[in-house]
Structure 1
Amino acid sequence: MSVAVTHDGFAKAGRSWAGLIEAATAFRRALHRHPELTWAEHETAAAVRAGLERAGIPWRACAGTGTLGMLAPAAPGRHIALRGDMDALPIDEATGREWSSVHTGCMHACGHDGHTATLMAAANWLKQHEADLPGPVTLLFQPAEEGGHGAKLMVEDGALEGIDAIYGWHNWPAIPFGQAVCPDGAVMAGNGTFEILLQGKGGHASQPEACADPVLAASAVTIALQQIIARRLAPQHAAVVSVTSIEAPSAPTVIPDTAKIGGSIRLAQSADRDVINKLIAEIATSAATAYGVKAEVALFPRYGATVNHAAEASVMRSALAAELGPDWHARDTQVPIMASEDFSYYLNEVPGAFALIGAGEGRGEDHPCHSPHYDFNDRLIPVVTKMFARLAGAPLP
C-alpha cells in the first residue's frame, strides 16, 4: 500500500491551510486506491498511525485496527471526540477515476476514505493550534462501520473514557453540496435483517396435491408481511419492512422442499424493533401454516437508530451554518433517513450529534452511497475540517 507516502504532503504543507487541504485530498485518493474491508483495515490503520506520529500526536490502538489520537489532554475545558470511519465495501468499482481501487471486489463506495482524510486534516490543523484548544480533543479513527459494529467495540475498548461530547458526520450525495441536516432526535434509522426458512414437501409439478409448496408459501408470506407497516404499526412511526430475496432453486417441473426469504427492517424508534420482529415471526408462521408449510424465523438485530442529543445538535448546527451559510439546512430532506449508522453506539453512551452533509453537485458525487459509480466529493474536506475546528474551539484559517 502506498498511502504512507502522502504523509510527505502534510509535512510540506507546514502551517499552510491550502497545503493542508491539498495533502488531505491526496491522502483521500491514496486511501481510495487501496481500500480495505471491515475488520481488515490494517494498512489503513498503519497509514493513520504514521500520519499521527508525523504530526506529533500521541495515539493508541483501539478495537484492533481502530486508533485514538489525543490533543490537549491537560486543557481544562470540555473534552470532545471527533470520529471518522475507515472501512470499504465488497463492491467492484466502476468510476473510472485515476484513483480507482486497485483491489478487485473492494472499493470505498461510501466515502469513508473521505471521512478518514478529513479527520486527518483536522488532526494536523488542531495540532498546529493545540495551545489554543479550550479542552481535550480525542480523534476516533474507527474500523468496521459497514455492519461490523466497530463503534461498539471501540466503546468497549475505552474510546469514550472521559469524553463529554462526540461529533460525527456522513457525506450524503442526495443532499446538494452546501446543505446539511442535523436534527434534534433521530437522524438515521435503526436496522436489522431476517431470514425465513420455509420447509415444505417437494414433488412433481403435475401433482401439487401431493406436495406442500414452499414457493407458494413464500409468496404468501411476502405479501402478508406488508401488513406490518400498513396496518400493525402507528403511521407516526417511520419504519420499513422489505423482503429483498426469495430463494427456491429447482427445475421447471419440480416443486422444491424448501424456500428461503431474506429481508431488512428499518426503524426510526429503537423501541419498535421488538414489535416488528415479533410480528415478522407471528405472520410468517401463520401464513406458512395456512399452506401446510413450516416456517423457521431467524432475526438479526444490527444497529440502533442514530439519535442526536439536542444541546450538541444545536452546537453542530451553528458550526454548519457558519461554514455553509444561512441556507445550509436541507429542508427537503426528510429525517430520519432510513439508512443506518453505528455512530448510534456512541450516542447511547455520551451526548453528541451526527450530521448528514450534502455532496451532490451534478457529477459523479451524485451517485448514491454503495453504488459502484460513487466517489467522494473532495470539496467537502475543507468544509468539514473547518467545522471540526469550530467544534474544537480552534482558530480558523
Structure 2
Amino acid sequence: MAKLTDSQLESVLIKYRHHFHEYPELADNEFKTTEKIKEILTRWNIKILSTHLKTGVFAEIGLKDGPTLGLRADIDALPIQEESGVPFHSKVPGKMHACGHDTHIASLLGGAYLIKQREAELPGKVRLLFQPSEEANEGALQVINDGQLDGVDAIIGFHNTPNQPIGRVGLKPGIASGAIDKFKVTLTGIGAHASAPQNGRDPIVALGAEIGALQSIISRNINALSGGVLSITHVTAGNTWNILPETAFFEGTVRTANKEVRETIKKRFPQIVDATAKAYGVTADIDWYTGDPSVVNDPGLTAIVRDETSKFTDTYELTPGLGSDDFACFQEHVPGVYVDIGNGGHVSVHNPRFTADDGLLIYGARFFERNSFRLLHELSNSK
C-alpha cells in the first residue's frame, strides 16, 4: 500500500466522498456503496470480515492479540431531492446524502488507511463497522445480530454537525441524545353525508380532539425540567368535500432523554387516545414502535477521547438534543463514545439544501486514528 502524504490522503478522501455523494443509496439498498468500500479496503490490504447481511462492510486491522475497538460509520442516504447546488450533487433522482453519511464513510476510510500504516504498533485490533440502514430498519441491531460486535470491547463514532466550525468536536459524558418512539393511530367511525353528521360518527372531529389531548402529556404529566417531545407529523382523513369519512389517521414520534419520562408517555398515550375516541363515539387502533434508546457516552472513555482529541482540534461540551441515532444500540452492549464534528455548514440535516465541507474529512480520519491507538493502549493497561 503506497504511503500517502497528508495532503494526498485528503485529496483521496475528498474524491471518495464526492463519489458516495453522487451515488446515494437508501437504507438496506446500499449495494454499490458496499462494493466500493470493499474495493477500497481490499486495495489497502485490509481484511474484510464475512457477513450474512446483504449490505454493509465489516473489516479488521491488527496483528496482535488484545482488546478490540469498534469504529462505526453509517452509509445510507435519504429519500430527498437534492437542492444543495454543490458541483458533486446527487445523480440519483429523489435520493441524497442529506445527513452527511458520505462524510462518515470517507472519514472512516481515512482512519482505516492511517491505522493500517501503523498496524504493527496496535496493542490489539480495530474493527471497522460500515453500518447499513441507520435511517430505517435498525441497522445497528442488524449488525449486532450478525455478530459483528462480538469480541468488541468498546466503540466510537461521530456525526457531522452544522453550525460548528470545521473539525470542532463536541463531547458529553452520559446522555447525549434522545430516545425515539413512533406511533400510528387509526380512528374508525361511521361515514355519513356532511349535511347530516348526526347519522354518523365523525372521526375527523375525534382526530382534532386527540391532537390537543395528547399534548397534555407533555404539559401536565411530566416534570417540565425533564423534557420530552410528542410530535404529530402526518394527518389524513376523507377524500371529498361533502362526505364524512369512515376513518381518520395520524402518526408521529416521541423523543425523550429520560427513561422514566419515556415510560410515562408510553403509558399515558393509549389511555388518552382510547378515552378520547370513546368520548367521540369512535374506536382507535394504536401501532406503537419502540425505537432506539438514548446515546449514553461512557464517562471514563469520554474523558480519554476528549483529552486525545484536544491534541489536534478544538473541543467543546456538547449540549444534548432529542435527535436519535442507532449508535445507542451498540452502547447497550459495549461502552462507547459518540461525538459531533463540525461540518462548517449552516443548514440542518435532512434538508434538501444540506451541505458539509470537505475539510471535515481529515479531522474525522484523525479522530478515528488517534483515538484508536489511545483507547487500545488504555484498554490494554486496564486488563
Quickly name the TM-score band, shorter chain normalised.
over 0.9
Which amino acid is 2:194 matched to?
A
Aligned to 1:149: 138
> Contact conserved, 1:229 with 1:239, CA < 8 A, in 2?
yes
Q: Which residue of structure 2 aligns with residue 375 of structure 1?
A: 355
Equivalent residues of 2:112, 2:369 under 8 A apart:
no
Structure 1 residue 393, shift from structure 2 partner: 1.7
* 3-state SS of paired residue (2:155): strand
Q: Is structure 2 residue 336 aligned with structure 1 residue 356?
A: no
CA distance in structure 1 between the partners assigned to 2:23 and 2:143 by the alignment: 23
Give secondary structure in 1 for the equivalent of 2:343.
strand
Match of 2:323 in 1: 339
Q: Which of 84, 92, 99 is the equivalent residue of 2:81?
A: 92
Of residues 49-58 and 202-211 in structure 1, the stretch that sits farther from structure 2 once superposed is: 202-211
Shift of 1:73: 3.9
Amino acid at match of 2:62: A
Tell whether 2:68 aligns with 1:72. Answer: no
Gaps of 5+ in 2: 375-383
Counting only pairs closer than 5 Å after superposition, residues 215-230 of structure 1 correspond to structure 2 as 215-230=204-219
The alignment partner of 1:137 has SS state of strand
**Contact between 1:205 and 1:253, CA under 8 Å: does it hold in 2?**
yes
Q: Which residue of 2 aligns with 1:46?
A: 35
Q: CA deviation at 1:88?
A: 0.6
- On the 8 A contact 1:28/1:117 being kept in 2, the answer is yes
Q: Which deviations, in whole Å up to 9, do the C-alpha atoms of 1:91-140 show, x marking residues without a partner?
A: 11111222111111111111111100110011111111111222211111
Q: CA deviation at 1:178?
A: 4.6
Decide which of 361, 369, 375 is 1:389's aligned counterpart. Answer: 369
1:309 maps to amino acid: D
Corresponding residue SS for 2:311: helix
Give the distance between the partners of 1:231 and 1:273, measured in 2 at CA. Answer: 14
> Is 2:269 the partner of 1:280?
yes
Match for residue 119 of structure 2 among 130, 153, 178: 130
Partner residue, 2:104: 115
Higher mean alpha-carbon deviation, 244-253 vs 21-30, is at 244-253
1:34 alignment partner, one of 6, 23, 27: 23
How far, CA to CA, are the matches of 1:231 and 1:214 in structure 2?
A: 25
Q: Do 2:347 and 2:354's aligned partners in 1 also have CA atoms closer than 8 Å? A: yes
Q: What is the deviation of 1:180?
A: 3.2
- For the pair 1:195 / 2:179, whether they are aligned, the reply is no
CA distance in 1, matches of 2:113, 2:167: 24
Counterpart of 2:378? none
Do the aligned residues in 2 keep the contact of 1:182 with 1:354 (CA within 8 Å)? yes
Question: Residue 139 of structure 1 corresponds to which residue in structure 2?
Answer: 128
CA distance in 2, matches of 1:313, 1:236: 25
Give the structure-2-normalised TM-score. Answer: 0.93
Using the TM superposition, name which of 241-250 and 23-32 deviates more.
241-250
Q: Distance in 1 between matches of 2:58 and 2:34?
A: 11
8 Å contact from structure 2 (residues 191, 243) kept in 1: yes
Q: Using the aligned pairs only, state the percent identity.
A: 33
Preserved CA contact (<8 Å) 2:309 2:370: no
Once the two structures are TM-superposed, the CA of residue 322 in structure 1 deviates from its matched residue by 2.0
Cα 1:178–1:342 shift into 2, 3 Å: same
- 2:90 corresponds, among 101, 106, 118, to 101
2:81 counterpart letter in structure 1: D
- For residue 316 of structure 1, report the CA deviation from its aligned partner: 1.8
Q: Provide the rounded CA distance (Å) in 2 between the counterparts of 1:200 and 1:319.
A: 61
- Verify the 8 A CA contact 1:119 1:385 in the aligned structure 2: yes
Give the Cα–Cα distance (whole angstroms) in 1 for the partners of residues 50 and 163 of structure 2: 34
One-letter amino acid of the structure 2 residue matched with residue 387 of structure 1? F
Secondary structure of the residue that 2:164 maps to in structure 1? strand
One-letter code of the match for 1:393?
A: F
Equivalent residue of 1:311, what SS? helix
CA distance in 2 between partners of 1:176 and 1:208 (Å):
58
Query: Cα distance, 1:315 vs. partner?
Result: 1.6
Please tell me whether the aligned partners of residues 147 and 302 of structure 1 are also in contact (alpha carbons under 8 angstroms): no
Write the mapping of 1:279-298 to structure 2, written as runs, cut at 5 A. Answer: 279-298=268-287
Q: In angstroms, what is the RMSD of aligned CA positions?
A: 1.7
3-state SS of paired residue (1:168): strand
Select 1:251's aligned residue among 240, 256, 273: 240
* Secondary structure, counterpart of 2:308 in structure 1: helix
Among candidates 161, 171, 175, match of residue 172 of structure 1: 161
Paired amino acid for 2:253: S
Which AA in structure 2 matches 1:131? Answer: A
| Structure 1, 80-89 or 55-64: larger mean CA deviation | 55-64
Q: CA deviation at 1:209?
A: 2.0
Aligned letter for 1:240? V
Contact 1:135/1:392, CA 8 A, preserved across alignment: no
Q: Distance in 1 between matches of 2:54 and 2:355?
A: 27
What SS does the corresponding residue of 1:323 show, helix, strand or coil?
A: coil
Q: CA deviation at 1:284?
A: 0.8
